[in-house]
Structure 1
């Protein structure tokens, strides 16, 4: 099996693993929200941090949609550079988010994981998508 053909299933599996962990955090975010707050917190502080985390997780799911659309449409499925970037980013995200859940990391750490492991590959995916479909001119 060549390196490029083995990137496709590995990329799909790491994307799926990252997606599953994000959905799991969505369902069980109470402990992570409490880890962001002082010991004596008010309901208002809890709701504020909860909304921030829900927004971050929702945007992450939107970025998954962009990446999966590019992957399944074939735009970046066999692009080795995007495959390697996506594989590294989503594998790192899966590991870091596992620690985020089990070790109850602070909420601000999610934003770093979000920026490097979700935004970066989604932006490259958008650039590839625009490069493939945006440059085609329709005849008059």
Structure 2
């Protein structure tokens, strides 16, 4: 993570910027240890599977666009919700566009840095 995230509202734009620039290391640095993601297909990934899924999105020239964030933050956890659009090229060369509303959870590390603990682009669906 190039700049520590000191407020959960900084996570969505940092994630969008890292994804759109194709910087896998930067995207992965925004995840808390043990983070989990529910993919747009409904699969749950963590650890190496999360890394590989993110790498696949970046390889597909993923372009993410986030809408305004709604954040409810406690002392060490925050709920982040926002509309998003993601365009990605599938392995067969087709450009695919997906949209949704997230329901993400962020957590604050002991050093005060916020990271994504749960990334759920499907929200409550």
Whether TM-score is above 0.5 comes out as no
Q: Which has the larger radius of gyration?
A: 1
Which protein has greater RCO, CA pairs closer than 8 Å, 6+ apart?
A: 1
Task: Write 1 or 2 for the structure with the bigger share of strand.
Answer: 2
- State TM-score, norm by structure 1: 0.27
